[in-house]
Amino acid sequence: MGMDRRGFLKAAAMAGVLTQVAGCRHLAELRERAGLPMRKGVCMAGFRAAPLGKVRVGVIGVGQRGSEAVRRLAEVPNTSVVALSDLYENRVAKSAKVLAEAGKPAPALHFGSKDEWRKLCESPQVDLVYICTPWLWHTPMAVHAMRCGKHVAVEVPAAVTTEQCWQLVDTAEQTQRHCMMLENCCYGENEMLALMLCRKGVLGDLTHGEAGYIHDCRKLYFAEDPDGHPDGQWRLEWAKQHTGNAYPTHGLGPVCQYMDINRGDRFARLTSVSSNPLGLAKTAAEKFGKNSREAKTTYALGDVNTSLMRTYRGRTILVQYSTVAPRPYTRINLISGTKGTLADYPLRIALDPKAEEWMGEKELANLKAKYTHPLWNANGEAAKKAGGHGGMDYLMDLRLCHCLQNGLPLDIDVYDTALWSSLVELSERSVAQGGKPVDVPDFTRGGWKTAEPLGIVSV
């Protein structure tokens, strides 16, 4: 982490990041050959930290995503944003102004230096470090924060290699600090409805799930930073060097919760294939001209990646990823069991004895009203008012802070954080081997066999 963002992008363009990732892969392969690594701390399944009462948050990275988080956190009860960090002064100044306008105390501001974020982590005034930076910064920042005694909430994906996933797990177990990936989609209204249907047995015994992140981001890849900073195209640098599924967690996280993955079941193997990489070159030719450097650049990221997992208990999960193809947005969000199926985008439900067709609008509305998740019943209006992807972001922050305030286990623990993120490398590894199955590490080290399933909560 000894470089600023400009230096980071330059290194990425010169394939320095690729070398770093390859090194992490080598370490991960050594671990796998040696068998399941020994636990260096205490298992974090069901971990309860000491209640905080009031949560003091430090936010690292206040660009678009981080600045939205600051605005939301200012509305969460018994929560205070006490520190902000970014390379750029104008970004921290904007977020500090948001807090001032909300009548909140002025936060400590860290900016200008490549190491300022470390000071935020080391501050005794911070309980929770909330990380909203580019992907390759997530694990180093999270690890340092935990070693400083802080709980961590980190944007998706939390890691880009399986070795980084192990670093998160090992550090959380050694320090006994929470490490939660900020997977907001687990708090979506339809996702939590699906969780209710699964927990209440409405769909029967679960057999298959489908997930995805289909989002046409072709223009975003070549967009300039709105503030004129030179770090707006870090996703593009990744796409030049990597294929596979770079962003698996939005669709996968909810399906894993439905199926009790890491809490009664686990992934066994994964196979993955990617289509030809055509979308980015076509977009570049249209924007810059067919003879431009951008159009002639080689992009590794396939237009569509499809991965398939089988679990220890014999269930299957299909995950798709596409951000460079002309497809309407969807996270797919399908869960199927022996009594019925829920499918999303748009929401549809089919149940025995009429499972051969989707139920009508009135029947669907009645079922949805009956099984609306208590968290949405209690906080849905406030969530929608606060905003953030229809309210899911606010519910995520509200629930995270409530658990920290009351010493409760988190809905998304470090093992979920690691497993869901591990598909970034595992999918690419399988693609590179022509779709050959690869083993999925058990980040719980057997803890999945006795961990309690995620329950239905109201606050």
Q: Where do runs of H (alpha helix) occur along 2-82?
A: 5-13, 16-33, 64-73
Contact status, residue 274 vs residue 203, Cβ threshold 8 Å? no
In tens, the pLDDT along 12-40 reads: 433 344 445 555 555 555 555 556 678 98
Q: Is 312 exposed, middle or buried (0-12, 13-18, 19+ CB in 10 A)?
A: middle
Q: Where are the domains of the chain?
A: 5-183, 186-449
Can you tell me the distance from the alpha carbon of 424 to that of 433, in angstroms, rounded to the nearest whole number? 15
> 194: which 2 tokens?
């699906």
Amino acid at 142: A
Domain 186-449 bears CATH identifier 3.90.1170.30: no
In this predicted structure, the answer to whether residue 3 has a pLDDT above a threshold of 60 is no
CATH of domain 5-183: 3.40.50.720
Query: Where is average pLDDT lowest: 3-12, 83-92, 120-129, 426-435?
Result: 3-12
What's 29's DSSP letter?
A: H
Averaged pLDDT for residues 400-420: 98
- Give 166's pLDDT tier (boundaries 50, 70, 90): very high
DSSP 434-452: TS--EEPP-TTTTGGGTPP
- Give 388's pLDDT tier (boundaries 50, 70, 90): confident
> What average pLDDT is seen over the chain?
93
Strand partners, 152: 129, 179
Amino acid at 369: A
> 298: which 2 tokens?
């080689």
Total Cβ atoms within 10 A of residue 55? 25
Element (H, E) at 90: helix 89-101
Which residue bears the tokens 């439900």? 349
Contact status, residue 268 vs residue 439, Cβ threshold 8 Å? yes
Can you tell me the distance from the alpha carbon of 261 to that of 267, in angstroms, rounded to the nearest whole number? 7
User: Phi/psi of residue 380, each to 5°?
Assistant: -60, -45
In tens, the pLDDT along 328-350 reads: 999 999 999 999 999 999 999 99
In this predicted structure, the answer to whether residue 301 has a pLDDT above a threshold of 80 is yes
